[in-house]
Structure 1
Amino acid sequence: MEVLVAAYNVSSVPKMLELAKVTYGFGLKRFILIKVFGAAAQQIGDLFKLAFKMGGEVLVFNDIADAVDILKPDIIYALGRPDRDTKPIEKVDGKIMLLVHGADLSFSPRELPPGAIMSHAVAKDIGSTGQLAIALYRLLGA
């Protein structure tokens, strides 16, 4: 099983860095940004510096379709707030993309590629960083 973390619609520098720290902290080497703008885009050098220090790398895409086309995940979990339309993540064989909203919002169906699964890691509203951390813990272990 291979896990990819992709942060979508990120404008906050602290949020971008926290998501990257969680990703690299679980031993993943690649952090993916999709549709980065505002202060985060202007200070993306801070992310590259963090990646270098933690032995990671950064990929940046303009939209989700480009990331999916290049990275070719087998399954896409769009992590968000738990509600009646979301399903818990589960381990599967293949390449998993964890798509996290950078603004702590739920994904709209039109933002997601076909076949993406609206999901959550824990049935509590703990924000995207918390959902990502628990999802990685469940998929990769301690």
Structure 2
Amino acid sequence: MELVVAVYNISSVPKMLELAKITYGFGVRRFALIKVFGAAAQQIGDLFKLAFKMGGEVLVFNDVKDAVEVLRPDVIYALGRPDRDTKPVEKADGRVMLLVHGSDLVFSPRELPPNAVLSHAVEKDIGSAGQLAVALYKLLGG
């Protein structure tokens, strides 16, 4: 399984760096930002510095469609709050994209690519960083 973590709609620098540290800390090399704006866009150099130190890479896209076109994931898990419409994250073959909302919001249908699976890693509302950490733990076996 080849993993990429993609963060959608992020403006907070601390949140961007926290999600990147979680990603790189689990050994996932590829970290993508989709629709980055505000302070996060202005201080994206901090992310590149962190990626360099931790042996990771950073990709930046204007929209989800561009990210999917370039990265070509076989499975897209759109992580969020658990509810009746979400499914638990499970191991999958091929390229897997974990799509995380940078603002801890629920993804709207128009924000997602057609083949995305609304998902959760744990059945508690622990925020996007928590959901990402647990999902990576489950997918990578600790």
TM-score strictly above 0.5:
yes
In structure 1, list runs of 5 or more residues that go unmatched: none
Matched-pair contact (CA < 8 Å) for 2:4–2:29: no
In structure 2, the residue matched to 1:50 is: 50
Matched-pair contact (CA < 8 Å) for 2:77–2:97: yes
Between the two proteins, the alignment pairs up a number of residues equal to 142
In structure 2, the residue matched to 1:80 is: 80
Aligned ranges 1:34-45 → 2 under 5 Å:
34-45=34-45
Which letter maps to 1:81?
R
- Whole-Å separation in 2 of the counterparts to 1:107 and 1:33: 15
In structure 2, the residue matched to 1:5 is: 5
Match of 2:110, SS state, is: helix
- Whole-Å separation in 2 of the counterparts to 1:116 and 1:64: 11
In structure 2, the residue matched to 1:108 is: 108
Query: 1:115: how far off?
Result: 1.1
Matched-pair contact (CA < 8 Å) for 2:81–2:106: yes
TM-score by length of 1: 0.99
In structure 2, the residue matched to 1:141 is: 141
Which letter maps to 1:101?
H
- Whole-Å separation in 1 of the counterparts to 2:140 and 2:66: 26
Match of 1:59, SS state, is: strand
1:33-61 superposed Cα distances (whole Å, 9 cap, x missing partner): 00000000000000001001101110000
Matched-pair contact (CA < 8 Å) for 2:61–2:67: yes
Query: 1:29: how far off?
Result: 1.1
TM-score by length of 2: 0.99
Superposition misfits of 4+ residues, deviation over 6 angstroms = none
- Whole-Å separation in 2 of the counterparts to 1:45 and 1:110: 30
- Whole-Å separation in 2 of the counterparts to 1:42 and 1:129: 21
- Whole-Å separation in 1 of the counterparts to 2:123 and 2:112: 21
- Whole-Å separation in 1 of the counterparts to 2:127 and 2:63: 22
Which letter maps to 1:38?
G
In structure 2, the residue matched to 1:130 is: 130
Residue identity (%): 80
Aligned Cα RMSD in Å?
A: 0.5
Aligned ranges 1:6-45 → 2 under 5 Å:
6-45=6-45
Query: 1:30: how far off?
Result: 1.2
